[in-house]
Amino acid sequence: MRIFSLLLIFIFLNPIWANRSHHHGYDNPSNYDSHNHGHDSFLFADAFQTGIDTNRKPLYLCIGKIFNSDQPGKTWEGYGRCNIAYGGKEYIVDRFDIPSRARFNGAYWQNYPETAVRVGTDTNGTPLFLCQAYFRGSSQPGKTWPGYNRCNISYGGREIIIDRYMVLGTNRPVQAGKHHRYLGRGTTIHIGVGP
C-alpha cells in the first residue's frame, strides 16, 4: 500500500517539476488578447519570417505578452508558443500574436536604418525594435531599443546579448506611428550572456 501511495504522489507531482528551465509568462489574465494565434489556427504562409534556426527551420516573428509588455520573439510552425528574451532568460509564453508580413512591406534588414520599425513596448514604455543576429550558424531574431547598441536574442534558455546585428528598418515611414529614429549601431563581434 505504501508503494502504491508513493507511486500516486510521484505521478501527480511530476508535472509540477517538468520543464523547469522554461519560464511561462502569465502576468495578468485580464490582459489576454483575443487575437492570440494557436499553432493549429494560424497559417504561417502569412507570417513574417525573421530568421533560420540551427536546425534549419524558419523562425517567425511573434509578439509575446509578459509583465505588462509586448516583447518581440520567435516561433515556428507547429510550436504554438513564443520564445522571448527578457531579464537574462528565455521565456516561453503561451499568449502571443503573430503579425502579418504585410505589416512590414517596405522594411528590410539594415546595419544603420534611418527609421527602425517598432514591434513592441517594454515594461517601462520604451519602444522595442526588431533586430537579427547570427548565432551558432543560425540567424536569430531579437530586440533592441533607442540608444542601446546591442541585439538581445533568446536561445537555449537564456537571453544572449550580441553586438553585431541588423535592425528591421526603412528609409521612409511606411505606417504612421510604427517607426522611430534608431540611434544604435552594431560594431564588434563580441557575444555575451545577459545578466
| Short-list 83, 65, 98, 63, CA closest to 19 | 83
Burial category of 19 from C-beta neighbours within 10 Å (exposed 0-12, middle 13-18, buried 19 and up):
exposed
Produce one character per residue of 20-45: b if its CB has 16 or more CB atoms within 10 Å, e if not. eeebebeeeeeeeeeebbeeeebebe
| Integer Cα distance of 74 and 150 in angstroms | 18
Query: How do the pLDDT tens digits run along the chain, 195 residues long?
Result: 666 554 444 444 333 333 333 333 433 333 333 344 444 445 688 899 999 999 999 999 999 999 999 999 999 998 999 999 999 999 999 999 999 989 998 899 988 777 899 999 999 999 999 999 999 989 999 999 999 999 999 999 999 999 999 999 987 654 434 434 444 443 322 233 333
Average per-residue pLDDT for the chain = 75
Phi, psi of 10 (to 5 degrees): -60, -45
The domain limits of the chain are 29-193
Residue 37 grid coordinates: 494565434
State pTM to two decimals: 0.69
Residue 3 grid coordinates: 508503494
Q: What is the 3-state secondary structure (H, E, C) of 21-72?
A: CCECCCCCHHHCCCCCCCCCCCCHHHECEEEECCCCCEEEEEEEEECCEEEE
CA dihedral 52, 66, 97, 73 (to 10 degrees): -10
